[in-house]
Chains A and B, each alone.
Chain A
């Protein structure tokens, strides 16, 4: 009987002990983790759109993680799009009050290093500025079609959301 009853008991005790330990570590680090996530987005916002205050907006759209408004009048959409990797591009797209693109920045990029990551280069992102619609977007980067299309779809989505917001 011992060899039937003992193993499950030991396994249960080990699992319970590890769970307890993790609960303790989680309680100790959860604030820190939440703060780190906020810092990351704020840091990206400042890097892309310059110093200023950015306040999170209550709107929510499908495919948009968060909406921010800057004190300079930009509406900024935090969008994660699929590139070559699923969810490979997390971009911040700032829309001017007239609906054109203010600036585009990348929070994180999980695309192939040296190939898909070309879409994160400053010179490429700068070409989005001022575009009213898809016809004004920069060309697709050769050998990085998926990543380029992913970024375009993120920018497109931001403009669509801004258009919708204006109507309602």
Chain B
């Protein structure tokens, strides 16, 4: 990882290891708040703030926190940052705060954040950890914004409603209310995941026969194992 440099730590989260569209992490906020683009953007940025903050703290404390209590420590640190975001949004952007509702506090248990803490920040120095947090956060924000944009335009016939840059389409614009509901969220997500797969040229998982199965030796239900071995050989 060191060879690829710091830039890689940032850019990998944008597409190649995009937490939402490639990693399929954090599905709960992804589907819940993306019926409007502005909410999606707010959720993305709030998560990014928490991700960067928690990655930095956890990386700084990585040699101090004993392995036995690392999860409680991570959760406390993450929950602390989430509460800070909660206070700030409630005070300064009360409408966004209301729209995000419980999903704001649920950032605490967003698996992207805990995942990056465990997989990256706890093993790497502060600078790459912050870059990792920024990249993953940006990837998450962009994915949510894309889903939110598609759902709001198709479902409500507007974009960024409630903000100064709002665009409202005329009433004649046909809207499909399914895109405002969760089912439409899944549809949009599915299409974008496929698109991300295409862009990253990720091959579908190869068909694994009995031969390549690590359990082949001890698997009693599998009689094809010896033949399978010949095939691959």
Contacts and interface: CB of A to CB of B under 8 A. Distances in A.
Interface stretch (B15-23, B83-91, B105-113, B190-198): B83-91
Contact of A32 (B72, B92, B181): B92
Q: Contact residue range for chain B?
A: 20 to 34
Interface stretch (A63-71, A92-100, A105-113): A105-113
Contacts of A40: 94, 98
Interface residues of A, number: 27
Contacts of A112: 181
A33 B87 contact: yes
Interface in A12-62: 14-15, 18, 21-22, 25-26, 29, 32-33, 35-37, 39-40
Interface stretch (B5-13, B61-69, B121-129, B213-221): B61-69
A114 interface: yes
A115 B35 CA distance: 14
Contacts, number: 66
B139 interface: no
Nearest to B155: A114
Interface of B: 35, 61, 64-66, 68-69, 72-73, 76-77, 79-80, 83-84, 87-88, 90-92, 94, 98, 101, 155, 177, 180-181
Interface of A: 3, 6-8, 10-11, 14-15, 18, 21-22, 25-26, 29, 32-33, 35-37, 39-40, 108, 110, 112-115
